[in-house]
Amino acid sequence: MQDRDAIVIGAGFAGMYMLHSLRQLGLSVSAIERGSGVGGVWHWNRYPGARCDVESMSYSYSFSEELEQEWVWPHRYAMQPDILRYANHVADRFELRRDIVFNATVAKAEYDETELRWLVSTDAGETFRCRYLVMATGCLSVPKVPDLTGLERFRGRVLHTADWPAEGHDFSGQTVGLIGTGSSGIQSIPIIASQAKQLRVFQRTANYSIPAWNSPLPAEQEAELKRKYRALRQKARESYAGDYADEYYTSVLDLSPAEREVQFEKRWREGGFNYQYAFADVMVDERANDLAAEFVRNKIRATVKNPRVAEILCPKDHPFGSKRLCVDTDYFETYNRENVTIVDIKVDPIVEITESGLCTNDGEHRFDTLVLATGFDAMTGALNAIDIRGRRGALLKEQWRDGPRSYLGVAVAGFPNMFTITGPGSPSVLANMILAGEQHVEWIASFIAHAEANGLREIEAKSEAQEDWARMVTESAAKTLYVKANSWYLGANVPGKARIFMPYVDGFQVYAHACEEVAKSGYRGFRMG
Ligand code: NAP
């Protein structure tokens, strides 16, 4: 049994900063990490084409001016190897590794109400005892392997985008089947297509995707951004999405048809989320959303030469942006290649996986390698994978059977001295995840500092505060079009998972302000003693 003041579970970007911040408070801390290295989602998601859909200068830590000045991002949108290099640099720079236990999966965390301690045990049998427990387990860290009949029979290799082999995979000369057209599929398809002999994509839901227009980041532009960094970071903190990109919030319906086309085209040329976050009414008004969606569909029709394939690729069954928007490089162009075909499995469903490929209703498709770009058990998956027991042995997973409930997305009633970074009920995946993590880490560290300074031994969300918060999160989401898609935001991609909209939709800046108000009020909504 090893004693620590705090244990942080996970050494991704949030976990690393939490470890650093708690050490700064003078506490003894260890982070426990399942992987062999730091970086979390960027450690595992090594699939070809993996890159961030938030610009690198924004998707990076803001807590250290020296760090942000010394690091050089080679591209506007960073590729996974660069992000992982950055995570490793941070770990070295702040000497984090000495307090990280790698290759250890936390199996159980149990609160001892008599000793006011958490007992945290790993699958290797190591046990830690701590006063504070911080879950930095990530929102997208448990890969979802679909329940496909016969999957175990397949004789070729099965690769999941979220658990990609560190040594990579050589597709040259191979025939490849790929299931899934979310962000991971959309990013990997163009690269796999350029390497493989043949690629067949099995698409269940067509997705909206906006080009990234990625390019190297010119040195002068980088220097200019670095000169303005403090102001840009502040702008990000005051934005909806936690990013410093301009958020104009023009209303689509206030524009004339001609002006609309100009604005859509402008935002589309800016790329990625600039298109979604430019308009005030796109996520709340179906008419505005239809117009934004049709513009994207027309771009697909103009790009994909085969009109039948273009129509398969045009999303028509959910509002634009209601599933997480994808940001791509040459995704739709890839379907103009001779070696790429698509099967619409809503029309021609997969019946079973066979030894040499898969059968749909219409026949057999043979391939050497099957790529599953099928996503994650998002937001609650990593928390529910741990046997977390709070007061009177209550199991978190059981408490969340009908959907996760938390106060501020950061604390759960019945689980004292435990915090969740970017937990359900916080902006998390709707914001720049590094900034969302930083905001939580700073808030949690201040709360712990307050507890330490005031001799508080237990801090715990009150159930009434939690219920009010959960109701507000659900009601806010219900006013938007986010709830109109079968998305992972709602848990709809995992059979049997409760359908509840998990992220906080009112914006990063509104949320951060609410957290500050709670702190200023002396932590309203928390029981402390
Ligand atoms: P995803 O968005 O959940 O997409 C999974 C895909 O697999 C969907 O097309 C889904 O179809 C399909 N699928 C799942 N189960 C299936 C089944 N049984 N049969 C057929 N198709 C099935 O997962 P993801 O692409 O890994 O992305 C998840 C999130 O990770 C993203 O939304 C994003 O937030 C993050 N991410 C970000 C980046 C980045 O650019 N920074 C890159 C990758 C991922 P349905 O839509 O019909 O369910």
204 lines ligand 1 (CB under 6 A): yes
pLDDT band at 277 (very low <50, low <70, confident <90, very high): confident
Q: Quick one: pLDDT at residue 366?
A: 98
160 lines ligand 1 (CB under 6 A): no
Amino acid at 212: A
pLDDT at 247: 82
DSSP secondary-structure letter at 454? T
Query: What is the arithmetic mean of pLDDT over 216-236?
Result: 96
Q: Would you say the pTM of this structure is higher than 0.85?
A: yes
Judge whether residue 248 has pLDDT over 90: no
Is it the case that residue 183 has pLDDT exceeding 90?
A: yes
Report the mean per-residue pLDDT for the chain: 97
Place 123 in a pLDDT band, splitting at 50, 70 and 90. very high
Give residue 499's identity as a one-letter amino acid code: R
Statement: residue 250 has pLDDT above 90? no
Its sign, for the CA torsion 188, 191, 194, 197, is: negative
Asked which of 37-46, 103-112, 241-250, 460-469 is least confident by mean pLDDT, the reply is 241-250
The rounded distance, in Å, linking the Cα atoms of 7 and 335 is 48
> What is the structure's pLDDT at 359?
98
The reply to whether ligand 1 has any atom less than 6 angstroms from the CB of 329 is no
Give the Cα-Cα-Cα angle 451, 455, 456 (nearest 5 degrees).
55
Centre of ligand 1 to C-alpha 171, Å, is 21
Q: For residue range 460-487, list pLDDT tens digits in order.
A: 999 999 999 999 999 999 999 999 999 9
pLDDT at 80 over 90: yes
Q: Cα(487) to centroid of ligand 1, in Å?
A: 9
Å from CA of 372 to ligand 1 middle: 9
Cα torsion 512, 515, 516, 518 to 10°: value is: 160
Contacts of 211 (CB under 8 A, 6+ apart): 268, 271, 272, 327, 328, 329
Residues in the chain, overall count = 529
Beta carbons of 525 and 462 less than 8 angstroms apart: yes
Using alpha carbons, list the distances in angstroms from residue 135 to 7, 52, 423.
9, 23, 9
Mean pLDDT for the stretch of residues 116-144: 97
Query: What tens digit of pLDDT does each residue of 407-453 get?
Result: 999 999 999 999 999 999 999 999 999 999 999 999 999 999 999 99
pLDDT digits (tens, 9 = 90+) for 291-345: 999 999 999 999 999 999 999 999 999 999 999 999 999 999 999 999 999 999 9
Q: What is the pLDDT of residues 7-34, one digit of tens each?
A: 999 999 999 999 999 999 999 999 999 9
Q: For residues 295 and 275, is the Cβ–Cβ distance under 8 A?
A: no
Pocket of ligand 1 contains residue 177 by CB under 6 Å: no
Residue 359, helix vs strand vs coil:
strand
Q: Pick from 200, 324, 348, 430 the residue to mutate for probing ligand 1's pocket: most ligand atoms within 8 Å of its CB.
A: 324
Can you give 330-341 as a three-state secondary structure string? CCHHHHHCCCEE
> Does the beta carbon of 433 sit less than 6 angstroms from any atom of ligand 1?
no
CA dist list (Å): 477 to 110, 465, 500: 33, 18, 10
Say if residues 368 and 174 touch (Cβ distance below 8 Å): yes
Determine the pLDDT at residue 117: 98
